Amino acid sequence: MSKDIRIRKGLNINLVGAAEQTISKAVTSNVYALNLDDFHGITPKMLIKQGEEVKAGEPLFYNKNNEEMHFVSPVSGELVEVVRGARRKILTLKILADKEQNYMINKVPDLDEADGEAIKSYLLQCGGWPFVKQRPYDVIADPSVTPKAIFVSGYATAPLAADPDFILNDKEQEIQAAVMALSKLTPGKIHVTIGKSSRSAFNDIKGVELHKISGPHPAGLVGTQINKIDPVNKGETVWTISPQDLVMMGELLLTGKFNAERIVALAGSVIKEPKYYKTKIGAEISTFLYASGVKEDRFRLINGDVLTGVKTHTEGHLGFYNNTVTAIPEGDDYEFFGWNKPVFNKISSTRALTFSWLQPNKKYDLDTNTNGEHRAFVVTGRYEEVFPLDIYPLQLLKACMVKDLDEMEQLGLYEVAPEDFSLTEFICISKQPHQQIIREGLDLLQKELG
Amino acid sequence: MKEKLHQLKLKYQGKKMAPAFNALHTFLYTPNETTHSGSHVRAADDLKRTMNTVILALVPCLLFGMFNAGYQHYSAINGFPENFSLFDHFLTWDNFLVGITTVLPLVIVSYGVGLAIEFLFAVIKGHEVEEGYLVTGMLVPLIVPVDTPLWMLAIAVVFGVVIGKEVFGGTGMNILNPALTIRAFLFFAYPTWMSGDKVWVHEGVERAGTADAISGETVLGSLAQGSDYSYSLADMFYGFIPGSVGETSTLLIVLGGLFLIFSKIASWRIMVSAVIGALAMGLIFNGIVDAGWLPEYSKFYTLMSFPYWQHLLVGGLAFGIVFMATDPVTGSQTNKGKWYYGFFIGFLSVMIRVFNPGYPEGVFLAILLMNVFAPTIDHYVVRGNIKKRLKRFKTATIYPKASDAVDSLKTETA
């Protein structure tokens, strides 16, 4: 059964440098790294000391608040460095990979027989759990809570993002296994949303509620889909998981092996030959970045897409949740009378001597310049045009800024993740940091009420 | 030049005068600032561009106002031309010269004083100079009588910017529209300079009581006194009538409004609903007159019997609706709220216009009043969304936590 959802509000940001749909194998990385900022809100407790050997899939650390929740190593090798920051906070774990990879083989549960508890403890023990995120708060799911539904977005509308249809090709078996397992963890449904005309692997998966969506970005964001399908109410919990993580979870359930392999889109106007690479979580980005070549020396390298990704650098590593790496030009240059000249080479949501509305399908080469300075909120009614959720974005942002917990709750902060505000942030005339404001609001709400 | 300014910027960084320097620097060049959190790319628009678009929409009104200043002045002396020709009688050097000598000083004083205060506050408070005054500074000369003494304007601007805006925290934080605060200050502090039949014509006040006395009453002024006016509908629409500097040409205001709507800078919802509100109130008044409820000797008779739609052509109503009511900071912020907000502005403007005994105009008072009520309107609109969410909450499916179940089991067994 499928239901069609049509998103009208939004904005497609078309950028040059989309990845060509061919997969190359990336050079094997020497050092792999887990960046602990990827796991928001987790305080790690190490299980392995620096200098010790681990197998691929062997736990490196656990969550301080839940000893059962293990985070495993993507590869086998030696834990060579624990990078610490202020107050000895662990920032990054670096593993020097073995030439021959040894996998820890876990005893797999019988998917037909096992109950929810068995599946849950298996995923927690074997490193599959961190793939499951929850709303409210947009953090790794709390395993003690039963969600009312699980959402998967099989559709990507973010600029230059990896195409799920492409990377999920031939992965039906793994997805089916993961869906079967997850269906035991909720009495509700597993909602999967795919593009209206896509040839998605999800078409043949049993046990899911399939939705078809069309429209501009943020149609592909899971937050938009939750809001349209079954919005989160106060006290409710839903889980979300991205499709490529579903594949990993499926493989873990079928073979007992934590296989960190992942297909990543390398995209952006700086890349000479943007295409897909097969690599592993935590791999050095340079192992495939230079295989495609870069056009200039100074550029912004992003773990993820340009709207929600994390800034990294050429010595950086692929993030835990990312399947896209983007490189765009840095924009740290001045522009003469940039504020009153007619603009043809940048995207705008207005027509104030900006002309991107003439060619909605033109591809742009945007850089990281903010195109203006930070100001107080002035203009109104603009965010609503790109924000399809049934939420007042400006009012919610202001509630977060003044830390008004009641208002934050009432206006629906439970339902959103920072990424839902990436598009309002993009068009913001006052150049306010929307995603940061929402993240801080969520953290505060979780601290006070969670 | 780019490099030199960059060096200077680094030199001034962290110094007291940095905001002042940056304001000038960012005027010449968009800054080299890059994104550091959240989205790595940003759209092309910033506040400067937004404000600039509004100014562009205002320029035709300003130019027209300059010519009209001369046209009204010479017509008051020589009488209105018999066969009016745009190029022979209106767009002339003589008219423009009057405009240059009367209107331009207003613009200069408005910007000079206002921006000086903005810079001062930016330096004292250590924040960047904000762009809000760019539009305010242009609006102010357009909504005052042509011969407003410059010192008066300067005092009003100081009051309007400091009390109307800076005390609330600057652009984006103010409750009342600064330009209208300035206008209201002038109106209440110097009423003789803001109304009557002398102030709308250049040299009208100067020559009062002499043999060369000239005057030019606005259409609304004539109506309020129950007397006739000699302007045709076309005059009113094109703007060849006495009035505040930039408010007379409904045609150019409509064009400016369409430009702002097209460029998505100003809210069409406010404009449309304000027009509806004005028409509604006008219709009610016309209806009262038609029903014969109002005796002809009533002092409101002429204004109330004025055809409802012509209210949009005279006075500052059109200008107020397009350029002042749509101020996003002081107006309603929700799309639904904008409908109510605009409607009441139009409705109240015509009501005040008819019933105000001292001064037959009400747009600025209506907008200021609705500025005050805008947050209330928004509050109820947002409540609607909250109620919807609460209603949904009743059907929420919350499963007990595993730990809760254990806890309840413990208490049961105990």
Q: What is the pLDDT averaged over residues B158-167?
A: 92
Q: Which residues of A touch B34 (CB under 8 A)?
A: 300, 330-332, 367-370
CB B390 within 8 A of CB A411: no
Residue A427, pLDDT above cutoff 60: yes
Tell me the per-residue pLDDT of B144-154, one tens digit each, with 9 for 90 and over.
999 899 999 99
CB B265 within 8 A of CB B54: yes
Q: What is the pLDDT averaged over residues A371-391?
A: 90
Q: Is A402 on the interface with B (CB under 8 A)?
A: no
Q: What band does B408 get if pLDDT is binned at 50, 70 and 90?
A: low
pLDDT at residue B81 in the model: 81
Q: What band does B413 get if pLDDT is binned at 50, 70 and 90?
A: low
Residue B378, pLDDT above cutoff 90: yes
Q: What is the pLDDT averaged over residues B366-387?
A: 94
Tell me the per-residue pLDDT of A33-46, one tens digit each, with 9 for 90 and over.
999 999 998 999 99
Task: Say what the pTM is.
Answer: 0.91
Q: Which residues of A touch B395 (CB under 8 A)?
A: 233
Closest-CA distance of chain B to residue A41, Å: 18
Residues forming a β-bridge with B32 = none
pLDDT at residue B404 in the model: 60
Give the range among A13-17, A165-169, B410-414 with minimum mean pLDDT. Answer: B410-414
Q: Which residues of A touch B171 (CB under 8 A)?
A: 375-376, 378
Tell me the per-residue pLDDT of A149-176, one tens digit each, with 9 for 90 and over.
999 999 999 999 999 999 998 889 999 9
Pair of tokens at residue B14: 């962290």
Q: Which of B22, B26, B28, B46 to mutate to test the interface with A (most CBs of A within 10 A)?
A: B46
Tell me the per-residue pLDDT of B330-373, one tens digit each, with 9 for 90 and over.
999 999 999 999 999 999 999 998 887 667 778 999 999 999 99
Tell me the per-residue pLDDT of B194-240, one tens digit each, with 9 for 90 and over.
887 788 888 888 787 777 777 778 888 888 877 777 788 888 899 89
Tell me the per-residue pLDDT of A409-419, one tens digit each, with 9 for 90 and over.
999 999 999 99
pLDDT at residue A1 in the model: 46
Between the two ends of chain B, the Cα-to-Cα distance in Å is 82
Cis before residue A218, ω within 30 degrees of 0?
yes
Provide the percentage of residues in chain A whose pLDDT is more than 90: 75
Report how many Cβ contacts below 8 Å link chain A to chain B: 251
Q: Which residues of B touch A391 (CB under 8 A)?
A: 385
Give the range among A93-102, B126-135, B296-305 with minimum mean pLDDT. Answer: B296-305
Q: Which residues of B touch A335 (CB under 8 A)?
A: 29-30
Tell me the per-residue pLDDT of B265-299, one tens digit each, with 9 for 90 and over.
999 999 999 999 999 999 999 999 988 888 888 87
Q: Is B330 on the interface with A (CB under 8 A)?
A: no
Tell me the per-residue pLDDT of A227-256, one tens digit each, with 9 for 90 and over.
999 999 888 999 999 999 999 999 999 999
Place of tokens 């006016």: B229
Helix H or strand E encompassing A45 = strand A44-46
Between positions 43 and 82 of B, the ones with CB within 8 A of A are: 43-50, 52-53
pLDDT at residue B35 in the model: 86
Cα-Cα-Cα-Cα dihedral sign, residues B375, B377, B381, B387? positive
Cα-Cα-Cα-Cα dihedral sign, residues B166, B172, B178, B181? negative
A422 vs B39: CB contact, 8 Å cut-off? yes
Say whether the ipTM exceeds 0.90.
no
Q: Which of A373, A391, A394 to mutate to test the interface with B (most CBs of B within 10 A)?
A: A373
Q: What is the pLDDT averaged over residues B37-57?
A: 91
Residue A450, pLDDT above cutoff 80: no
Q: Which pairing describes strands A59-63 and A66-72: parallel, antiparallel, or unpaired?
A: antiparallel
Give the number of other CB atoms < 10 A from CB of residue A213: 24
Residue B120, pLDDT above cutoff 60: yes
pLDDT at residue A337 in the model: 83
Q: Is B4 on the interface with A (CB under 8 A)?
A: no
B34 vs A300: CB contact, 8 Å cut-off? yes
Average pLDDT, chain B: 88
pLDDT at residue B285 in the model: 92
Pair of tokens at residue B49: 């561009």
Q: Which residues of A touch B375 (CB under 8 A)?
A: none
Q: Is A342 on the interface with B (CB under 8 A)?
A: no
Among A239, A183, A187, A225, smallest CA distance to A206 is for A183
Tell me the per-residue pLDDT of A54-106, one tens digit each, with 9 for 90 and over.
999 999 999 999 999 999 999 999 999 999 999 999 999 999 999 989 999 98
Closest-CA distance of chain A to residue B381, Å: 10
Q: Is B356 on the interface with A (CB under 8 A)?
A: no
